[in-house]
Amino acid sequence: MAKIKPSKGAPYARIMGVGGYRPTRVVPNEVILEKIDSSDEWIRSRSGIATRHWASPEETVTAMSVEAAGKAIAEAGISPEQIGGVIVSTVSHFKQTPAVATEIADRITSSKPAAFDISAGCAGFGYGLTLAKGMVVEGSAEYVLVIGVERLSDLTDLEDRATAFLFGDGAGAVVVGPAQQPEIGPTVWGSEGDKSETIKQTVPWTDYRDGTVEKFPAITQEGQAVFRWAVFEMAKVAQQALDAAGISAADLDVFIPHQANMRIIDSMVKTLKLPEHVTVARDVETTGNTSAASIPLAMERLLATGQAKSGDTALVIGFGAGLVYAATVVTLP
C-alpha cells in the first residue's frame, strides 16, 4: 500500500485583516413606515434599529464583496496573488450557478484560488471562518478570504410588519492566514432542522416562475420563537465556545454576536453574565440585520472606532435560518 504524503500546513490560523462595505444609501425607519402600520418608537423598542443601508443597482453582491475584500487584504499586509481560497457566505446571490465566489476571486486576484459559496444564513461567517481555518492548517491554502455578503433588501417584503424593518445590505470580509499560536478557537456549531419553519423563504423560486404565486419570494420569520431560541439556546452555545477555548467570560475583551436584534444581544449579555469591561457590538442600530455580513461588519466598526483593539480576545456567534449556529473565540487582528 502506497503511503500518502502528509499535508504541510500551519500549526494554527488567525484573522489577519478585516474589511467592510456599507451601501451609500442610508434608510431611516420613516421610509419603512410608509408601507407598514407601525411607528419609529415601536421599531426601536422591538429591534433597536434606527437605520439600515440598502444597495443601489450598482452595489451588487460582487461589487460590495470586492470592496470589502480589498480592505481586508490590505490590512492583512499581503498581496491579492497570495490568496489561495475564497469562501463566500450569502443567501442573496440569485444565480444558482456559478458560485459568486468565482467571480469575486477573478476580480481581486490572478492566482486562481479555490472559490465556493456556502449557504448558512446568519451563521455563514462562522461556518466560513471554520472552513478557512481548516484550509490553512491542512495546508491547501496559505491565505483564505472569507466574505459574508447580503442584499437582503431584495428579499424583504416591505408590507410584512414583522420583518420589513429588520434587514439591511452590506459585505464584510476577513483574511485568514498562518499563526504560531492558537488565535481561532474550536468552533461549536450545529443545526436544528426541526425548527426550519421559524425563518424561511416564503415560497420556492419555482412557485413564482410557474405563476403559482404573484408575489416575489421574501424572507419571513416567527419572531417570538426565534427570540426565545436565540436568547436561551444560543447563550448555551456561546458558553460552550468559551469552554472549548479554555477561557471564561471574565477573560473576554469583546463580544460580537450576530446583529439580529438589540433585545437579543442585550439578553444574551445578561444570560452569559458578561462583565462590564467587555465591549459589546451593537452595530445593528445603524446597519440592521445583514445576515452573513453582520459579524465582520461589526468587527470592522469596533476596530475602526477604537472600541476594540488588535490582540483583543473576542467571542463571535452567528445564528439563523436552518436553524443553524456557529460560535468561536478569536483574537482580533
Catalytic residue among 29, 53, 93, 122: 122
Whether residues 44 and 168 share a domain: the answer is yes
Q: Residue 172's pLDDT is what?
A: 98
Q: 27 has which bridge partners?
A: 52
Catalytic residue among 53, 258, 261, 277: 258
Q: Which long-range contacts (CB under 8 A, 24 or more apart) does 98-106 make?
A: 100/61, 100/62, 100/65, 101/147, 103/62, 104/62, 104/65, 104/66, 104/69, 104/147
Whether residues 209 and 152 share a domain: the answer is no
Residue 243 CA to residue 115 CA, distance in Å, equals: 32
Residue 29 annotated as catalytic: no
Q: Is residue 7 part of a domain?
A: no
Q: Residue 198's pLDDT is what?
A: 94
What is the extent of the structural domain holding 259? Answer: 188-332
Residue 132 CA to residue 212 CA, distance in Å, equals: 40
Whether residues 201 and 323 share a domain: the answer is yes
Q: What is the CATH number of the domain that holds 83?
A: 3.40.47.10
Whether residues 173 and 192 share a domain: the answer is no
pLDDT in tens, 116-164: 999 999 999 999 999 999 999 999 999 999 999 999 999 999 999 999 9
Whether residues 207 and 316 share a domain: the answer is yes
Categorize the per-residue pLDDT at 10 as very low, low, confident or very high, splitting at 50, 70 and 90: very high
- Is the pTM above the cut of 0.95? yes
Q: Is residue 123 part of a domain?
A: yes
Residue 289 annotated as catalytic: yes
Whether residues 175 and 192 share a domain: the answer is no
Residue 1 CA to residue 266 CA, distance in Å, equals: 57
| Count of domains for the chain | 2
In the block, residue with C-alpha cell 497570495: 82
On whether the CB atoms of residues 9 and 136 are closer than 8 A, the answer is yes
Residue 233 CA to residue 322 CA, distance in Å, equals: 14
